[in-house]
């Protein structure tokens, strides 16, 4: 290896190989880190989904309790006024009860839809994470093959000059 061209060729090949290995490791690590972030985002979305469900259940129960208080007040006022629970007063109380239940059901529905959206976000984040990690591996493989091809080409060029 006393020939300067040989030394430079070998040195260049070594540097190229080191650079290729570093790039391969970097791509694989980036894919893993991106996967970790996406898994974290999925966990956050799942917590948000559960919070939306719980909040909706609480709000619906609260709406029903408020409705019961309203119906109790109606009954008390009708009773105090001497109104019987037949005809229009009864229909009004039934309509009030139906409206209260519809409001509570709408709160629950909205909570379920919100929870579903967060669940979909979680699924999408997991899919993105898996894809990012695979892309890191594919990128690393491509870089490794490209580096190997360049090293072989450099070595072939060196041999042809000898």
**Model confidence at 19: pLDDT above 80:** yes
Give per-residue pLDDT as tens, 68-113: 999 999 889 888 988 887 888 889 999 999 999 999 999 999 999 9
Q: What angle do CA 60, 63, 65 make, to 5 degrees?
A: 110
Give per-residue pLDDT as tens, 138-152: 999 898 888 888 888
Averaged confidence pLDDT in the chain: 90
Distance CA 96, CA 68 (A): 10
* Domain residue spans of the chain: 4-161
CB 85 within 8 A of CB 93: yes
Provide the percentage of residues in the chain whose pLDDT is more than 90. Answer: 57
H/E stretch holding 86 = none
Local confidence band at 7 (pLDDT 50, 70, 90 cut-offs): confident
Give per-residue pLDDT as tens, 52-66: 999 999 999 999 999
């Amino acid at each position: 290896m006393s020939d300067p061209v040989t030394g430079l060729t070998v040195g260049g090949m070594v540097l190229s190989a080191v650079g290729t290995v570093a790039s391969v490791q970097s791509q694989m690590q980036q894919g893993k880190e991106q996967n970790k972030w996406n898994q974290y985002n999925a966990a956050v979305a799942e917590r948000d989904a559960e919070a939306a469900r719980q909040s909706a259940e609480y709000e619906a129960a609260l709406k029903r309790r408020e409705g019961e208080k309203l119906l109790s007040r109606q009954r008390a006022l009708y009773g105090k006024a001497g109104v019987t629970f037949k005809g229009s007063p009864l229909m009004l109380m039934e309509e009030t009860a139906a409206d209260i239940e519809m409001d509570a059901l709408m709160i629950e529905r909205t909570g379920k839809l919100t929870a579903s959206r967060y669940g979909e976000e979680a699924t999408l984040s997991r899919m993105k994470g898996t894809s990012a990690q695979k892309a890191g591996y594919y990128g690393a493989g491509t870089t490794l093959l490209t580096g190997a091809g360049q090293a072989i080409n450099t070595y072939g060029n060196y041999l042809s000059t000898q």
